[in-house]
A and B are shown apart, each in its own frame.
Chain A
Amino acid sequence: GAGVSQSPRYKVAKRGQDVALRCDPISGHVSLFWYQQALGQGPEFLTYFQNEAQLDKSGLPSDRFFAERPEGSVSTLKIQRTQQEDSAVYLCASSLEAGWSNQPQHFGDGTRLSIL
């Protein structure tokens, strides 16, 4: 497809389970971002990849959160031992160029995660 694709669209898990969220960026886009959006709030930065390199993971809220992009295209955000406060929409975005240059970010539709 032409846009950023995220899967699954919805995920329900029990507290304590591990989850994995997938992001397929636009083909050829160098930069990939993950954001967390709590209900009624704006998105908050989690982590940034330039190709396969994770250059910034300062927004990951705890060591239960782990992200990877091993071949510089598809990325996976993994949350271990999920907690109720992890319930949120997880957004992925990609952009054509490297770095934090002033360029548009293209967003996916997000994965809505609910922890019971």
Chain B
Amino acid sequence: KNEVEQSPQNLTAQEGEFITINCSYSVGISALHWLQQHPGGGIVSLFMLSSGKKKHGRLIATINIQEKHSSLHITASHPRDSAVYICAVRFSDSKLTFGKGITLSVRP
């Protein structure tokens, strides 16, 4: 079965901390997306990757194809980073399958 799991479910951090959010999946994929969802529903695509590592500003995304695992790192976290972070993968059936998301709260 095509499954996506994210951990931890909820995460609280202090401003300035380094944060890691994890995503694991059950079978081989062609691509993995990291998405950010703010209260109110809007979703922003942060990264799409199929191998290696990508960096944008304070965000870094990595993927390990052999271990079927991806991580999203946030450096020097800020309260405005508070949001739900969703991992979505494209399995062989081509549709995007989404994880439940991780709710991140960054306290000032």
Residues of A within 8 A of B (CB): 33, 35, 37, 40-45, 48, 56, 59, 89, 91, 93, 100, 102-110, 112
Known A102-B48, A105-B45, A105-B96: A42·B86 in contact at CB below 8 Å: yes
A100 to B30, CA, bound (A): 10
| 8 Å CB contact of A40 from B30, B42, B99, B100 | B100
| 8 Å CB interface, B24-60 against A | 30-31, 33, 35, 40-45, 48, 50
Whole-angstrom distance between the alpha carbons of A100 and B101 in the complex?
Answer: 22
**The 5 residue pairs across chains A and B that have the minimum distance between CB atoms:** A42-B98, A100-B94, A110-B41, A107-B43, A109-B42
The interface size bin for chain B is 20 to 34
Task: Given A109-B41, A109-B42, A112-B41, decide whether A102 and B95 contact each other with a Cβ distance below 8 A.
Answer: no
Chain B's nearest CB lies how many Å from the CB of A89?
A: 5
Which residues of B are found within 8 Å of A41, using beta-carbon distances?
Answer: 100
Known: A43-B43, A89-B41. 18 other contacts (CB 8 A): A37-B41, A41-B100, A42-B4, A42-B86, A42-B88, A42-B101, A43-B98, A44-B98, A45-B95, A56-B95, A59-B95, A91-B43, A102-B50, A102-B90, A107-B35, A107-B45, A109-B42, A110-B43
Measured CB to CB, the closest approach of chain A to B4, in angstroms, equals 8
Q: Which residues of B contact A (CB under 8 A)?
A: 4, 30-31, 33, 35, 40-45, 48, 50, 86, 88, 90, 94-101
**Distance of B44 from chain A, by nearest CB (Å):** 7
Contacts of A102 in B (CB 8 A): 30-31, 48, 50, 90
For the complex, what is the distance from the CA of A107 to the CA of B33, rounded to whole Å?
A: 13
Interfacial chain B residues near A40, Cβ < 8 Å: 100
In the bound complex, CA of A112 to CA of B40 (Å):
9
Residues of A within 8 A of B44 (CB): 107
Complex CA–CA separation, A33 to B97 (angstroms) = 13
User: Is the CB–CB distance between A106 and B45 below 8 Å?
Assistant: yes
Nearest Cβ in chain B — how far from A18, in angstroms?
A: 22
Closest to B103 in A: A40
